[in-house]
Structure 1
Amino acid sequence: MTELDAPVASLPDARCWELLRTQELGRLVTHVGDVVDVFPVNYVVDGEGILIRTAPGTKLLELTVNADVLFEVDHHTDTEAWSVIMRGRATALESEADIERAENAGLRPWIPTLKRVFVRIEPTRISGRAFRRDPEPERTGVAEY
């Protein structure tokens, strides 16, 4: 990554989307009343949105009550790391055309369960940061920032 001249660097939107396309596991964060839940989900980038599959249950219920979500993906190696966070609205796909398109997006469940509901997350904001992974600076003396 060329973003790593500094220990932490903000990523432009285009780079965030590029990085999202390299992974397939993220975290979906929902919020209903006083309850915040985090769900690991496999996903695929679809244009400028995210597709996930789910079954009836807590996740789908919470998305129905409050469609405002966070979606987070990260990755690391021994020398660098990155994290992308998307704020958006999640909507279960209902039209036959949308579902057929989603069926052809290549999103398959990781575990042998039926996940018949496709959900699309439309971003309202995306941000990302890249991190250079170096040893911790010396704790004594003058720190360079």
Structure 2
Amino acid sequence: MWQGEGEVAELSESQCWDLLRENELGRIATSVGGVVDIFPINYYADGSTILFRTTPGTKLVELTTNEEVAFEVDGHTDVEAWSVIAKGPAHAIERQSEIAAADAMPLHPWIPTLKYRFVRITPGSLSGRRFQRAPEPDRY
């Protein structure tokens, strides 16, 4: 619990994976040459890695220069909110056997595009917080 921020609880790694598995839309942040880019992606989490599909373009080009990414997913209800952040390398899947396995996962584009490239994030760190929602305290 952090002081002065209301009720904030750190999530365990298991709780983080549970939330990742229960959701399917997040954001990936890449960084190349001092420029940070953030992309919304739909994803599939299997409990040890995060998988997403993409087309050739900025994300794949940036990952060939710097494989380290940050991935974030969050959610809320009327009474609480939460956020999970995974950091680690992201690699395009190249082996045909791995592509076939990835293609069998329940991961489909949200928009009508063909996305044949699979990328796997292997988190080196995983953290999360759960926040109790409440009105802002008096400031004066």
Render the CA deviation track for 1:123-143: whole Å, top value 9, x for unaligned.
100000000001112223xxx
Partner of 2:22: 22
Task: Report how far residue 15 of structure 1 moved.
Answer: 0.2
* TM-score under structure 2 length normalisation: 0.93
Identical counterparts, % of pairs: 59
Q: Following superposition of structure 1 onto structure 2, how do residues 38-117 of structure 1 map, counting pairs within 5 Å?
A: 38-117=38-117
Per-residue deviation at 1:46?
2.3
CA–CA distance in structure 2, aligned partners of residues 88 and 21 of structure 1: 18
SS at match of 2:124: strand
Q: Deviations over 1:35-74 (max 9, x none)?
A: 1000000000124000000000111100111100000000
Paired letter, 1:108: H
Q: Is residue 13–residue 126 contact of structure 2 (8 Å, CA) maintained in 1?
A: yes
| 1:13 to 2:13 alignment | yes
Q: Which runs of 5+ in 2 are unaligned?
A: 1-5
Aligned length, in residue pairs: 135
TM-score by length of 1: 0.90
Kindly report which structure 2 residues correspond to 1:127-142, keeping only aligned pairs within 5 A, or say none. Answer: 127-140=127-140
Larger Rg: 1
User: Where has structure 1 moved over 4 Å in runs of 4 or more?
Assistant: none
**8 Å contact from structure 1 (residues 46, 105) kept in 2:** no
Taking only aligned residues, the RMSD between alpha carbons, in angstroms, comes to 0.9
Structure 2 match to 1:36 = 36
- SS of the equivalent of 1:43 reads strand
Structure 1 residue 116: Cα displacement:
0.6
Within the alignment, does 1:121 sit opposite 2:85 as a pair?
no
Counterpart-to-counterpart distance in 2, 1:47 and 1:76: 21
Task: Give, in whole Å, the separation in 1 of the partners of 2:62 and 2:115.
Answer: 16
